[in-house]
Amino acid sequence: MEDDLTAARGGTLFVVSTPIGNMGDFSFRAVETLRSVSAVLAEDTRHSRHLLTKYDITTPLVAYHEHNEAKMTPTLVARLAKGEHLALVTDAGTPLVSDPGARLVRAAVEAGIRVSPIPGASALLAALVACGLDVERFTFFGFLARKGGERRDAIHELISLRHVAVVYEAANRVADTLAELARAGAGAREVVVARELTKQYEEMRRGTVDQLAAYYEDSPPRGEVVIVVAGAAAIGLVLLWSKVALNSLRESRHPRRVLAYWLLGLGLLVALTVLGVKLPNEGG
């Protein structure tokens, strides 16, 4: 089987990380790359123009965002296939991490175009390395759905993890999200709310989910926010399983069946805990 880089043809699509706040967090390689390509594909050209101007980059900007990516992608892949080099950036941080770009990268790969990452700033990684929790394994949820079954499912999955979970959240929704996590059974869980990372008013606030839900209810945060939630201990999973089962018993038309499943699951969890067996983890 041919190596991907050997098999690639045409130009290269560079996926370039940009600063998340501090303009000094921009690598020499990123600057050189943006200067060398035919065009820079930007989520917001007005925003990216400030960055390019600061580093004396005169490369043309092309708007590429969620509202035009379906239309623009075939044209951009055609340019790459003809030998042009293009760079994909987002407003801040690493493209594709809760930002547009996946459609273009996928299309480029399928067309045999080389895709090359230019790593740099990432709010996700910045929050993880400074949070003080065990981050050997983690699951990244991005922005949670605002409401409905998708949000409920994500909250349930999040609080069931035995390792760290990371969520991006709008500042005005931080208190509500933490309160919802608390109601779901994670109130005593350690949590870190990272705010305005790399900027002048950077803050890492630590406590339990209950504590920070109350704090941000009285003092709403400002700026960009990353929430890092510690995983559940084994005993916490047993208690959580019990809470979910009891809620199901109240709502089910077949309580005996639900009770049997609950007892079976509870017994399995207890047995695994006693034997010291680690449950499967996600993320990484």
**Residues 93, 99 contacting (CB under 8 angstroms):** yes
Whole-number pLDDT of residue 269: 58
Q: State the Cα–Cα distance between residues 54 and 125, nearest whole angstrom.
A: 25
Which contacts of 271-278 are long-range, i.e. CB under 8 A and separated by 24 or more positions?
272/234, 273/234, 273/235, 273/238, 278/162
Average pLDDT of the chain is: 87
Contacts of 271 (CB under 8 A, 6+ apart): none
pLDDT tops 70 at residue 234: no
**For the chain, domain boundaries:** 4-121, 124-232, 235-275
Most confident of the following: 77-91, 235-249, 258-272: 77-91
Whole-number pLDDT of residue 263: 61
- Give pLDDT tens digits for 96-112: 988 889 999 999 999 99
Q: State the Cα–Cα distance between residues 79 and 156, nearest whole angstrom.
A: 44
pLDDT tops 50 at residue 120: yes
Starting at the earlier edge strand, list the strands of the sheet with 86-88: 61-63, 39-42, 86-88, 12-16, 114-118
Handedness of CA 246, 248, 254, 257 (dihedral sign): negative
Termini Cα distance of the chain: 28
Same topology, domains 4-121 and 124-232? Answer is: no
Whole-number pLDDT of residue 235: 47
The mean pLDDT value for 56-77 works out to 96
Please give the class, per CATH, of domain 124-232.
Answer: alpha beta
Count of Cβ atoms closer than 10 Å to residue 131 Cβ? 24
Task: Work out the pLDDT band at 266, boundaries 50, 70, 90.
Answer: low
pLDDT tops 80 at residue 5: no
Task: Work out the pLDDT band at 134, boundaries 50, 70, 90.
Answer: very high
Least trusted range by pLDDT, from 8-22, 34-48, 146-160, 253-267? 253-267
pTM, two decimals, is 0.79
Give, as one character, the DSSP assignment of residue 186: I
Domain 4-121 grouped into CATH 3.40.50.300: no
